Chain A
């Protein structure tokens, strides 16, 4: 079975937030909320400083605590590529999934259900890339099957140094950042 994931080249990302705008437009994200966002992390001490710009979102973890915490089964793994989704008609808005997510990637939609990045599953099912990936002007974002050794994402991970976010939380995130 496929395992969809993303590889993002932090050496190319300029933090323009095109991905954020594309997501809001494609998914009709309510004003004031974000399914993806830009984070800038500055580390070190002058003059030895480093800046990493990251486009972040739900990590579609393989061991997703939001799925195990959900009391109704609304949070689930999609048949296609193990994408983590929320069924709006099953969500009761208890927010256990929000509390269980170490990335704070979820939020309560103004209509009451919990919302988050879907990897644009409606596009992926038609063979397209998620909206954020398709609009990136620096082509720093890549989407594909992490279990396929011949996929672009697997080749990038094999050839470049990379890290994921909070691997110590033990959720097996499927978004990786090239450094």
Chain B
């Protein structure tokens, strides 16, 4: 028997850590989804699908820009010492994933702007001569568009991986201490992005392609979650106890019902019927996938903070 009493009662630390509220899961979700959207639009640019007039690669960059900015605003809201945020950009800390992420995000914006030049807004074309010049230049160089697609995919993958690495580098939280959390967040981001594009795509071929891709991503996500859970169970006792939070503990219900059931299994079932032409495509499945992706971030961030060497051991 172990009984612990402590005089410490620091705000947000005791009795269990809760330093990150809704802002970080929202940021991680939006960052992951933008990563997936950059991978998809980058692939469409690379593969020449931009020749189709209603290719989603024409409107995904502006949407990525808006969603990423929204995510970064949520991240900004989470900072406790907001006037000093500029300090992120006076240094580069090679050991800090957050420092890597802040610089990657800065590099992502020019890529999104360049991708927006594929089809700038009419007003921009009329009012800013340079935009028209760059737009025409880009379309005169098909190889440049291919390179833009590759760079877009590279940085999309970088953001997607970073959102997972950010958490898994914090070894003090046993639940996050997994070497495949980056892969889970990357695939989940891709799945949410595919669902989002599936939902809004004007091109029928793209809608069908992304529904099929999303099914593959969802199956892959289920596999990665299984490996993630097995990895925790076969690790040390504190990791196994952290796993219990998701298996039978206080986060189990929301994890199994909203993330696995309504976020992956049910939409996968619906979309498998749709792509096999048993039922019509429905927006319900992609909406469930997107909400499931968001709840996944909430569960992982909250349960990870709750998991602890002290609480779980002595």
Contacts and interface: CB of A to CB of B under 8 A. Distances in A.
Interface of A: 17, 20, 32-34, 37-45, 56, 65, 67-74, 89-96, 98-104, 106-108, 111-114, 166, 168-170
Nearest to B80: A93
Given A39-B4, A69-B98, A92-B85, A108 B93 contact: no
Contacts of A56: 8
Nearest to A109: B80
B95 interface: yes
| Top-7 shortest CB links A-B | A93-B80, A93-B81, A37-B8, A112-B81, A71-B98, A71-B99, A102-B172
A65 B170 contact: yes
A93 B84 CA distance: 9
A13 B1 CA distance: 22
Contacts of B12: 98, 107-108
Contacts of B4: 39-42
B82 interface: yes
A99 B16 CA distance: 11
B13 A104 contact: yes
Contact of B99 (A33, A72, A100): A72
Contacts of A42: 1-4
A98 B17 contact: yes
Given A68-B96, A101-B172, A166-B309, A17 B7 contact: yes
B147 to A, nearest CB: 30
A99 B314 contact: no
A43 B99 contact: no
A103 B88 CA distance: 26
A72 B100 CA distance: 11
B224 to A, nearest CB: 23
B95 A68 contact: yes
A40 B314 CA distance: 11
Contacts of B5: 39-40
B212 interface: no
Nearest to B85: A92
Contacts of B95: 67-69
Interface in B5-63: 5-14, 17, 19-20
A168 B173 CA distance: 13
A54 to B, nearest CB: 9
Interface string B93-131: 101111100100000000000000000000000000000
Contact of B310 (A91, A104, A107): A104
Contacts of A95: 19-20, 78, 80
A39 B5 CA distance: 6
Contact of A112 (B82, B98, B236, B313): B82
A94 B79 contact: yes
Contact of A94 (B1, B78, B305): B78
Contact of B84 (A44, A45, A92, A98): A92
A108 B3 CA distance: 27
Given A99-B17, A104-B13, A108-B19, A71 B88 contact: yes
